[in-house]
Chain A
Amino acid sequence: MADLFLHQLVLPVAYILAIVVPLIVAVAMFVYWERKVIGWMHVRLGPTKIGPWGTLQAFADVFKLLFKEVILPAKANRFLYYLGPLIAVVPALAVWAVVPFDSRMVVSNANAGVLYLLAVNSIGVYGIIIAGWASNSRYALLGAMRSAAQVISYELATGFCLICVLILAGSLNITEIVNAQAGSKGFFEWFWLPLLPVFVIFFIAGVAETNRLPFDMAEGESEIVAGFHVEYSGSPFALFFLAEYANMILISFLSAIFFLGGWLSPVQGWVHLDAPGWINWLWTGGFVWILIKAFLMSFLFLWFRATFPRYRYDQIMRLGWKIFIPIAIAWLFVSGCMRYFDWVSVGVGA
C-alpha cells in the first residue's frame, strides 16, 4: 500500500514540481532578461528598480497580475473563456516530461518521445483558438484565426525538420537522438552540421510557432490590439503569458537537443583529462551544457524581437509554404542519402 502510494502519488507530484517550479522561475527570469536585452539593444537600461538590477521585476509583474480582477466580457462563453488559457498552458508544461536534461535526467524516457512532443505541443494552439472565439470580440477572433493558420502551417515545416533528425538518429527516443550525436570530433558530430538548413528552418519555424516577433501575427499590437488575449486580464492572462514563454524556452531546449547535441560537451573527444567530477562535465558533458545551449538559443528570440519588423500576413504564409517546406523536403532526401551512403557518422565512439 505504502509502495503504491509512493509510486502513484508522491513520485509523480515530485516530478511535476521538479519540472514546473524551476520552469516558472525560468519564465520569470526570462521575461526580465528579455526586457533587459531589448532595452540594451534600444540603448536603454531596461528595468532597474525592483530588486538588485531589477531582477525581481518579473515577480512584481506576476503578483500584480494575480491580484487583478478577472473581467469576463458580457457576451463571452464563460466555460470556454476560462478553458482557453488552461488548454494553452497545460501542454506547454506537459511537454517537458520527455525533455532530457542529462543522459539519465528525464521524467519519462519514452520510446516515442518525439511523437509525444509533436502531439502535445500542437494542442496548445487550441487554447489560443478557443480563447479567441470565446472572448466574442472581433480582434480576438482575428488573432485566433491568424494564429491557427500560422501555427498549423509552420508545424508542417517543423515536422519535416524533425523527420530529418529522426532519419539520421534512427530513433524516436529523445535521449537516443542526443546519444546519436556523440562522437570523437566534438561539436562537429552534432546534427547542426549535416542538417544546417534544417536547423535554421526548425528554429525560425519555432519562433513562428510560439507567435513571437517577427511572426507575432496573433498578437500584432499595431493591427489587432493584442489579438487572441485582448479580452483577458489578471491570472488568465498570466497563464497565456506563462504558456508563451514556456514554449519559447521549450523551442530553445529542442533546438539544443535535436541539433546542438543536448547535454554533450562541444569538446567531447578532444580533451582526455582525468579530473574530479565537479569539473569533468566540461568535456564529458552534463546538464550544464544543455542549459548553456538553451540559453544561447533563447537569446536569439530576444535578438530577433529587437531587430526585425513584423512580417505581413501573406509573407508569413509564403515563407512557410513556399520556402520552408520545400527546403525541408529537399533536405529530407539529402539526409536520407547521408544515412544510406554513410556520409555522416552517427553515434560512434560515444
Chain B
Amino acid sequence: MNRISGYFKSLLLVELLRGMAVTVRYMFKPKYTMRFPMEHIPKSNRFRGLLALRRYENGEERCIACKLCESVCPALAITIDSAPRESDGQRRTTRYDIDLFKCIYCGFCEESCPVDSIVLTSIHEYYFDQRGQNVVNKQQLLAIGDRFEKQIAEDRTLDAPYR
C-alpha cells in the first residue's frame, strides 16, 4: 500500500509541486538585500570601528602620552614616543602609530585612556590601496577625530548612563 501511494505521489509530482510552492512563497517576501553604498545597516553607538584621537574644544590635543593604551594593547598595535613639547614643555607624544592590521578593535585602549583621547569610532568602511597605509600616524588619527568629532561625542553621550 505504502509503495503504491509513494508511486502515485512521485508520478503526480506532489513533492516537486510542494517545493515550487515554497520558492514562489519566498518570491513575494520582503528582500534582505542592503544596497550598501546607498543604504546602511543601523549601527550600535557602541560599535568599535576605526580608531581616532580626540581634541578638547579649544583645539588642544587630549593625549598626555601616559602610554597606558600602549601597555594595555593585547595585539601590540600601538607605538608611542614622547618628549616635552618645545613651546611650553608639556609632556606630549612625538609619535603615535597604530598598525590597523594588528589592531583587533577590542577597545581596551579607549577603556584605559584617562583623558578620553584614543577612541573607537563607528566607521567601518575604509580601505588601503598602498602598502604601509595600514600604519596610521598621529596626524591621521587626529584628522579622523576632527572630522568625526560630532559623531564620536554623540555616541559617548548616549553610552554615558550605562558606564
Q: Are B23 and A45 in contact (CB under 8 A)?
A: no
Complex interface: stretch among B14-22, B71-79, B90-98, B132-140: B14-22
Interface of A is mostly: helix
B35 and A41: CB pair below 8 A? no
Nearest chain A CB to B21's CB is how many angstroms away? Answer: 9
Chain A contacts with B in 273-288, Cβ cutoff 8 A: none
Q: What is the size, in residues, of chain B's interface with A at 8 Å between Cβ atoms?
A: 15
Q: Is the CB of B23 within 8 A of A43?
A: no
User: Separation in Å of the B133 CB from the closest CB of chain A?
Assistant: 29
With A41-B26, A43-B26, A303-B24 as known contacts, state yes or no: A308 contacts B33, CB within 8 Å. no
Interface pair A43/B19, CB less than 8 Å apart: no
B31 touches A200 (CB 8 A): no
A229 to B16, CA, bound (A): 30
Evaluate contact between B20 and A200: CB separation under 8 angstroms.
no
Cβ–Cβ contact A45 & B31, under 8 A: yes
Judge whether B19 and A308 touch: CB under 8 Å: yes
Q: A62 at interface (Cβ–Cβ under 8 A)?
A: no
B13 touches A200 (CB 8 A): yes
Contact B33 A37 (CB under 8 A): no
Inter-chain contact A306/B13, CB cutoff 8 Å: no
Contact B20–A43 (Cβ < 8 Å): no
A44/B27 in contact, CB under 8 A? no
Q: Are B24 and A48 in contact (CB under 8 A)?
A: no
Assess whether A307 is in contact with B20, with CB atoms less than 8 Å apart. yes
Contact flags B1-34 to A (C-beta < 8 A → 1, else 0): 0000000000001001001101110111101110
Contact among B23, B28, B29 for A306, CB-based, below 8 A: B23
Q: Which residue of B lies closest to A49 (CB)?
A: B35
Interchain residue pairs with CB less than 8 A apart (25): A37-B27, A40-B28, A41-B23, A41-B24, A41-B26, A41-B27, A42-B26, A43-B26, A43-B32, A44-B31, A44-B32, A44-B33, A45-B31, A45-B35, A48-B35, A303-B20, A303-B23, A303-B24, A304-B20, A306-B23, A307-B19, A307-B20, A307-B23, A308-B16, A308-B19
